Amino acid sequence: MVSLPRDTHAKIETLVDAFDGIEVNNTFEYTYDGKNLPKGKQELNGEDALKYSRRRYDDPNGDYGRQERQRQIIAGIAKQVLSTKGLTNYRSILKTMGENVKTDLSFSDMRSLMGDYRTAFGNIKSDQLKGEGFMQDGVSYQRIDPSELKRVQEELKAQLK
């Protein structure tokens, strides 16, 4: 599961703005916190990306839908990091991420990584372990069906070969 902790939201907004926005594919039209987002590919600035990542209650998929949107934002940021703009703005990007990211890579190392692995980042596959929600002692949990757990385990094994 990919999730954006609340304390990093402002940094996500700033990071998206450092790239002049990211592209996402919105699966249905909605309005959230004063922002109307039509269905389809969208270019989002930092503020709108933050709103896009937070929406949950009016999503037919609930928290699973929100998690999918958060993964889209992370993928959009990764795509921008690997762009020419990301390479030329790497110091600004690392400063934006502050204490959440540290590296001992030199500029030359980063350039080599970008050149050698750029195509791999264009082929990001994500999956989600889904369960049945239930409440116990006032806490929300997910119960995972054994067949769903086995499916995800097999997928991980296949990817790690």
Q: 66-70, 98-102, 128-132: which range is least confident on average?
A: 98-102
Convert the pLDDT of each residue in 104-117 to its tens digit: 777 788 778 777 77
Average pLDDT over residues 60-69: 87
Where would I find the H helices in the chain?
9-18, 46-54, 62-81, 84-88, 90-97, 107-121, 146-160
Answer yes or no: is pLDDT of 22 > 80.
yes
Question: Pick the residue with more confidence: 136 or 57?
Answer: 136
Say whether pTM exceeds 0.95: no
d(CA 104, CA 156): 29
